[in-house]
Amino acid sequence: MQNFLIFAILILGFIITFQIARASEFVSVIRGEEKTRKQTNKINAILLLVFLVVGMFGVYWTQHTLGDKILKLGTSASDHGILVDRMIKYTLIATGIVFVGTQTLLFWYSFKYQESETRSVYYFPHNNKLELLWTVVPAIVLTILIGFGIVYWYRITGAAPENAMQIEITGSQFKWEFRYPGKDGVFGKKYYKNIDEAHDNPLGQIWEDAANHDDIYVTQAPMHLVVGKPVKLIIGAKDVIHSVGLPHFRLKMDAVPGTPTTLWFTPIKTTKDMIKETGNSKFVYEIACDQMCGAGHTGMRGEIVVETQEEFDQWMASQKPQYAKIQEAAAPAAATGDSTAAPAVKDTARAVTADTTAAAKKDSTGK
């Protein structure tokens, strides 16, 4: 019924518009086409001038009344974000000057040079200096802006500092999963065919790799970062393309299945600092999915906690490696003689070993 009403309203609007157009045409015939055209030109010229004034005031009013509801320039919570804010500011200044100037001239000229019997047309075919000016100047400005963008991009996606902590973030419909290396500081190997949600191996970790035994797996919980310490995010996806959006840090990177991507930054404000700065006691750093990924896309939201090194260490001490969780879950099953859960860790390892051995033989024989 609702769709039918919407369709009926659209049809009715079309009919009304069509009838108004026909009525205007009949009036112009009665009054005289030339007289009607001149009057219409005058009305349109005035309306264009009104539109210019109202539009410019609307831009100002929107910024004045709703400016506190957007991320303001200069409030970034990361070192790279400060540079991104600076680039956006200079871009807005450059394009804003051009926008205001060109739009003002466009609407003012439409009003000032409307059709008039007392004014003759001035033919202006060509001007080399003018064309050179409006070609070279924009080209130089855009080259500078693009140059800054490329430099910042390679900083963000380049090699992270040696002391940077590493966190693996994986997207899937419709959640974020995090993995932290244990005390050895090394991520264990994983294999996509090893992914087994039923046996607590959502990332496909290879349990035969000892580096996996102390890795921390977290999902449906905030990602924890240390203020003032660089962090490198290793980003991936398990199903479709997602995108890790970090609006408060001014960063974004796609999560692509089978193709890990990276970015790094240094948080400069803790969550507590942002609570004080924003005056919002419920403030949290957000991880948004910035790539349409399915019906639950809008609900794919994660959180980040930025804290001191001591607070982070306490949190890490409270976490248990995924391997230890599986071993604990398998122990009672082995004690009671239940063979369905106890061998889960070894079974997945054997499967990966078999697959990788077969792949190696294929590569060596070419068959």
Which whole number is the average pLDDT over 269-275? Answer: 95
Q: How confident is the model at residue 352 (pLDDT cuts 50, 70, 90)?
A: very low
165-324 — its CATH code? Answer: 2.60.40.420
Report the relative pairing of strands 301-307 and 285-289 from DSSP bridges.
Answer: antiparallel
Which whole number is the average pLDDT over 117-141? Answer: 86
Highest mean pLDDT among 32-36, 99-103, 132-136, 223-227: 223-227
Cα separation of 112 and 40, whole Å? 15
Q: CB of 243 within 8 A of CB of 291?
A: yes
pLDDT value, residue 160: 93
Residue 295 has pLDDT above 80, yes or no: yes
Classified as helix, coil or strand, 167 is strand
Structure token pair of residue 95: 């394009």
Which whole number is the average pLDDT over 36-50? Answer: 84
Q: CB of 188 within 8 A of CB of 211?
A: yes
Q: Which residues pair with 165 in a beta bridge?
A: 231
Residue 315 has pLDDT above 90, yes or no: yes
Query: Where along the chain do its domains lie?
Result: 1-31, 34-114+128-157, 165-324
Which whole number is the average pLDDT over 140-145? Answer: 92
Cα separation of 124 and 168, whole Å? 62
Residue 345 has pLDDT above 70, yes or no: no
Cα separation of 184 and 201, whole Å? 20
The residues, any chain, with a CB within 8 Å of residue 135's CB and separated by 6 or more, are none
In this predicted model, which residue has the larger pLDDT, 17 or 80?
80
Residue 329 has pLDDT above 90, yes or no: no
pLDDT value, residue 335: 60
Please report the beta strands in the chain, taking only residues with DSSP state E, as ranges in sequence order.
Answer: 165-172, 175-180, 216-219, 223-226, 231-237, 242-246, 251-255, 261-265, 285-289, 301-307
Buried b (16+ CB within 10 A) or exposed e, 252-287: ebbbbeeeebebbbbbbbbbeebeeeeeeeebbbeb
Main-chain phi, psi angles of 270, to 5 degrees? -75, 170
From residue 204, alpha-carbon distances to 192, 200, 201, 233, 243 in Å are 5, 9, 5, 18, 21
- The DSSP code sequence of 170-188 is EEETTEEEEEE--TT--PP
Average model confidence (pLDDT) across the chain:
85
Per-residue model confidence as pLDDT tens digits over 169-217: 999 999 999 999 998 899 999 998 999 988 889 999 999 999 999 999 9
